[in-house]
Structure 1
Amino acid sequence: MLWKSFKAGDDKAFYELYDQYSDALYSFGMQFCKDSDFVKDCIHDLFLELHKYREQLRPTDSIQFYLFRTLKRIIHKQRLSMSLLKLDHKLEKTIRAHSPACDETIIDSERQEEGMDLLANAISQLTKVQQRALFLKFEQDLNYTEIAVLLNISVESARTNMYRALKSLRKSLSKHEISLNLFVLLYSKNQL
């Protein structure tokens, strides 16, 4: 009854949903992330999403399960998004850290920066699923089954996305005579 009232636009039902489930959602969210503020932000995002799309929500037999599943999705999505942002920054730091420290390396440094920019640009041309698959494979060292579960796709789709991503990177980078091995090397050493 509470869910139906909420979907019908009853603000009291919305507040009651929040009051009834926010503590349980917090405890559940802390199982996936130990950052209290981050979990609270995700719960806030969850309720904003619920309020925004209330008329389009499906009926549910278990409000708690629905809210838990949605919170888990939001947490994973936010963490992956934050990780991808860190990926670009770490890639830049790693490439700069590997440049020799002498005066005649200025040209090499500029080439490396250009290579990094080209690599970042090539990665940005990939689909979001391909970017996430690359990150999970090379940064997190996950297998295709684990990648498929986290991206909510089949194992075959995970393999296909990885193949297409690497093929696309190889094609983009070969135009500029940059080896895909640099990309794999940086990821495989977990220095990102």
Structure 2
Amino acid sequence: MTSQDEGDHRLLEAARAGDKEALTRLLERHQEQVYRFSMKMCRDPEDAKDVLQDTLLAMARGVRDFRGASSISTWLYTIARGFCIKKRRRSKFAPVEERSLDADAAPEASRVADPAKGPHEALAARQVERAIEQAIAALDPKLREALILRDVEGLTAPEVAEVLGIRVQAVKSRLHRARLAVRAHVAPLLGIPAAAATPGTCPDVLTLYSQHLEDEISPDVCASMERHVEGCPRCRGTCDSLKRTLAMCKAAPASQVPVSIQNSIRAKLQDLLADFS
């Protein structure tokens, strides 16, 4: 159990015993991750705010019934996903407006630049970041939620399966498709070697590497792939591009919850906690 899980467990036990302060702290610990998930799934800041508020209030109402069979994160993502689906169904006939995943974040000019990078490197990094955001946004919702939960939020494949209510193998299948689609979108910006593959000799290193991440290939197959990649510049560059893509997905910053929605949640929570004892 991680220190985060241990802290959550202590707060959960106190909250279930009627400690209002513990419940408030528990909600605050998870609000940014729920908001980030909601932003990436809903694609609209207003919908994401509603999902965050509804999720945290639902958690507060149901905390006494939660028995800890799942992690708190898994429980929260399950709740948030349900509200995201409701939002998507209600707006499916509305005009679609493409927005940046960081539409509600600080403008680019106000971001703190990395002093270790020159202006050209910083610009290239932002271009790749935007390309990854666009690639994730373009995924089918079923693929997008699997990738976000696994490769952005860091849940295990079984935990993702629990949130989505599907089999683990189905999660892995969606992950492989989503990872390859995102990587293909950003490949031109990642400097993939242009050398052509040798017909009949190069394995599908992208699928194999994705399967390796989910423990789906044997040690012998893994060793064979590593030997091939070591001697094939094209496949080595191709595999490295997927590694870089997934690393950037994992490095996605937490979305800052707007002060206005924090205040709204706090006010509604106070009303809810008036009867909490």
Provide the TM-score with structure 2 as the length reference: 0.35
- RCO comparison, higher one (Cα < 8 Å, 6+): 2
Provide the TM-score with structure 1 as the length reference: 0.48
Determine which structure has the larger helix proportion and give its number. 1
